Amino acid sequence: MQRTVFFISDSTGITAETIGNSILAQFEGTAFDKHRLPFVDDAKKAEAAALRIKTRYAQTGQRPIVVNTMADRTLCDIVATSGALMLDVFAPFIGPLEVELGAKRSGAVNRSHGLVDFDKYEARINATNYALTHDDGIDVDYAQADLILVGVSRSGKTPTCLYMALHYGVSAANYPLTDDDLDKLELPVRLRPYKDRLFGLTIDPQRLAQIREQRRANSRYATIEQCRWELAQAEKLMRREAIPSLNTTHVSIEEIASKIFERFGIERTMF
């Protein structure tokens, strides 16, 4: 049985969606049909949202669930006329914080994903540019790198570097191990000065073959034998050089990034 969920916000809806997904994931037996309603910031939009939720209620015969981060009580009340189960994300925490901080909540809500702090923006853009220009392992200077991911082709290095840059402003380079490195079981000379910033990504051979097959069907590159050989050599090299590593097969990009930060003691918080 599927239940409809609306993430509703006067801003991007990212907070509503993030906490909503975390809560819903705790109810494994139920399937959810999820919708995002961002930028609901006036009565007209709230009425349109309420109508849409009510219509859904009528169509499915099931009460929809609304995960709400709108600040304005008037707008919440309008949406509540839809008859949905309203889960207000902020309400339970504002009271205790007002007491603790001895201050009233100010008008400026949902600013965390809104107005931009130029310095932070620049940090994430610069880190993203760094990741983009240090993505191929060819002719790059690693002196500025916060960390350097190493691994065979398609082990998840690029998306992880981009994620760390976009969200944490961490300048991460990545170096794809070549057949030559894997044959010799040696790190290239120019990586050696930065050995304490290296982190290895590995992956199961079957999964790697599947990803590579999508990329280059029927190639030697995608055969299970080639994948097995590359990964076995890469793991040998990482052990020999004492490079910390993580198998990414069953791990999300977010979790890979968090594990890497934990290993390096990086406590930077998100933008």
Which residue positions form the known binding site? 151-158
Map the footprint of its own copies across residues 139-178, applying CB under 8 A.
156, 158-159, 162-163, 166
Strands 31-37, 2-8: pairing kind: parallel
Nearest to its own copies of 162, 243 (CB atom): 162
Q: Rule CB under 8 A: say whether 58 interacts with its own copies.
A: no
Pick from 32, 30, 2: which is nearest to 17 by CA? 32
User: Which segments are annotated as binding site for ADP?
Assistant: 151-158
3-state SS, 53-105, equals HHHHHHHHCCCCEEEECCCCHHHHHHHHCCCCEEEECCHHHHHHHHHHHCCCC
| Residue 187 backbone dihedrals phi, psi, to 5 degrees | -75, 145
Which member of 58, 101, 138, 143 binds its own copies (CB under 8 A)? 101
- Cβ at position 190, least distance to its own copies in Å: 24
Single out the residue of 4, 8, 10, 13 in contact with its own copies (rule: CB under 8 A): 13
Q: Which of 38, 151, 169, 205 binds its own copies (CB under 8 A)?
A: 38
Q: Does 54 bind its own copies (CB under 8 A)?
A: no
Nearest residue (CB) to its own copies, 161 versus 198 = 161
Chosen residue from 7, 142, 175, 199 binding its own copies by CB under 8 A: 7
Q: What is the crossing angle of helices 43-60 and 73-80, to 10°? A: 20
Instruction: Select 45 or 187, whichever has its Cβ closest to its own copies.
Output: 45
Among 28, 139, 180, 183, binds its own copies (CB under 8 A): 28
Q: Which stretch binds its own copies (CB under 8 A): 50-58, 89-97, 139-147, 177-185?
A: 89-97
Residue from 43, 51, 116, 185 in contact with its own copies (CB under 8 A): 116
How many CA atoms lie within 13 Å of 66's alpha carbon, on the beta-carbon side?
Answer: 28
Strands (E), 105-249: 147-151, 172-176, 198-202, 245-247
- Report if residue 119 touches its own copies, rule: CB under 8 A: no
Site for its own copies in 194-213 (CB under 8 A): 207, 211
Q: Does 136 bind its own copies (CB under 8 A)?
A: no
Q: Does 218 bind its own copies (CB under 8 A)?
A: no
Given candidates 41, 47, 54, 113, which one binds its own copies under the rule CB under 8 A? Answer: 113
Please report the beta strands in the chain, taking only residues with DSSP state E, as ranges in sequence order: 2-8, 31-37, 65-68, 85-88, 147-151, 172-176, 198-202, 245-247
Nearest alpha-carbon partner for 67 in 76, 55, 59: 76
- The residue among 143, 192, 191 whose CA lies nearest residue 171 is 143
